[in-house]
Amino acid sequence: MVAVGPAYLLQQGCLSVEPGYVPADRVGLEIDRLESAFSAARQSLQNLRQQIPDSTPQDVAEFLQAHLLMLEDRGLIDPTRELIRTEHFSAEWALQQHRDALVQAFESMEDPYLRSRREDVDHVVGQVMSFLRQEENAREKALEGDISGCVIVAHDIPPAEAILLHHRGAAAFVTELGGPLSHTAILARSLNIPMVMGVHNATHYLHPGEILVVDGGTGTVLADADASILHHYRKQRAFLRERRIQLQGLLKKPAESRDGIPIRLLANLELPEDVQSARANGAVGIGLYRTEFLYMNRSQPPDEEEHFQIYREILQGLGGIPLTIRTLDLGADKLIREAEPCGSACNPALGLRAIRLCLREPELFRPQLRAILRLSALGPVRLLLPMLTSVQEIEAVFALLTQIRRELAQEGIPFDPTLPVGGMIEVPAAAICATAFAARLDFLSIGTNDLIQYSLAIDRVDDAVSYLYDPLHPAVLRLIRRVIEAGRQLGKPVAMCGEMAGDPRYTRLLLGLGLREFSMQPGSLLEVKEVVRAVRIEPLSREIDRLYPHLDRISAETLMDHLNRLH
């Protein structure tokens, strides 16, 4: 997605404040001031919700509701009140201190989607801070300016503001904070708004009125572009519009290679509202439904009935195509109050998370398993276990499932006794032992996002080392092929649900390696289908077989060039 337009700087106060204290005789007044700011922020958000057009996607209202719930959560306001009462902090300083503690907890989470939820804390605290500082009027006036065709440049843009700016004609967004898994980024993709996030110091270097080019596909922002560059991107924008129309023509056509090999193209779901997009783009199933959002912005985990009702709504919306539900993939950080603290030396990427946490805390795990088993009586459902590292973990889950099946049978609650159970292969140890995993599971799913970063010992969201994140590294390709071969030998389906699966640059390579199931963001489905329908897989497989022994000695460019020349 590409946009060209003048920059509109949306000024916004920084969350950072100077230390401040109040005399003992003013503590009560300061607490009242804090309460008033929370009340005003809630009212402002409710007013904002009323301004959102009826045509806005349902997920926007849910994001707003999540922020309203945070503003009403005593877990946010009570510790701030206590800091004012005991430490005599000013309301701003107390709120800043509590915000910093919350953000630290989120940033210690390994899962990038959950880590990005720290932005919700900042959005909510920022609103309260604006009322404490009496800055809200200036922000509201900025939102009411003439922004038709403009590129909005801001420190951060909450989801509610993003939707209002879009309906007032904003062409694109550029923010200093955020990433591709933030709420605002999810909304921007669903509304086809080009957005580039994490552009450090954008509000300092970009000037009001200067013409910007925003390429959401490559994450590029160009300022002060000359006429030839502008002409190029305007042509590209027109081309992309035509491409979207052209790709729609593939909807009714089968995902089948030129030599007649069928390929299953599945969708990943981040939120329940993505169901519509998955169906609109021709997904034949859901290969990965992430359930972590159910646990966010709340003090208690969801119970069995909440799990069941949400899953049932999704299953009904899918119209008969299969749903693969991944169980909780969270870390212990602040999720379970009884969990032992990690300590400052703990690396959350290697700590108590995902299946490890679920087996450690079965009372957290059981409600989700019961809900999924109950759902299995209503349609095609599969259960997917994240971050497996040993077959002992699989056996422990199977033992728990046996107990739950017995309970449901005694209670007269229907379920599918043959519910398929699969495992995420995202740890190198699991990939190396893939044959043992395939022997015990019904299907495998390769999570390339984590598999790559664990194999290469890099954090893909760390700017300092993210350039090392390489899906074409020989070690990564060998691990991928090892998993695919394990599934083939034992007759078990193998899918890929990481970002690599939805990148059409790698489709030929993955087909040649033997992959036959791809699960991706819904917006990528038709592009990948186009590649599938254009190639013959048998020549790709032969070329991979020829080059495979030499992966360590040939460059990624050479490998891809060989494959791209085949038809």
Active-site residues, by number, are 183, 497
Sheet holding 2-10, edge to edge: 195-196, 172-175, 151-154, 2-10, 211-215, 220-223
Q: Which one-letter DSSP state was computed for residue 14?
A: -
Task: Specify burial of residue 484 (Cβ count, 10 A radius: 0-12, 13-18, 19+).
Answer: buried
- Side chain identity at 450, as an amino acid letter? D
Question: 3-class secondary structure for 241-284?
Answer: HHHHHHHHCCCCCCCECCCCCECEEEEEECCCCHHHHHHHCCCC
* Residue keyed to tokens 């100077």: 18
DSSP E strands, 302-451: 323-326, 381-385, 421-425, 443-446
**Pair of tokens at residue 59:** 């997920």
Length of the chain: 567
- Which among 513, 466, 52, 39 is positioned nearest to 219, based on CA atoms? 466
Q: Are 423 and 394 in contact (CB under 8 A)?
A: yes
**In angstroms, rounded to a whole number, what is the distance separating the alpha carbons of residues 119 and 475?**
35
Q: Give me the phi and psi of 267, to 5 degrees please.
A: -115, 150
Q: Are 470 and 556 in contact (CB under 8 A)?
A: yes
Q: Judging by DSSP bridges, how do beta strands 381-385 and 421-425 pair with one another? A: parallel
Strands 494-496 and 195-196: unpaired
- Cα 281 → chain centroid: 19
> What is the C-alpha to C-alpha distance for residues 38 and 32, in angstroms, rounded to an integer?
10
Of the candidates 251, 242, 194, 245, the residue with the CA atom closest to the CA atom of residue 220? 194
| C-alpha to C-alpha distance for 539 and 545, rounded to whole angstroms | 10
Per 3-state DSSP, the chain is made up of helix, strand and coil in percentages (nearest 5) of 55, 10, 35
Would you say 461 and 447 are in contact if contact means Cβ atoms under 8 Å apart?
Answer: no
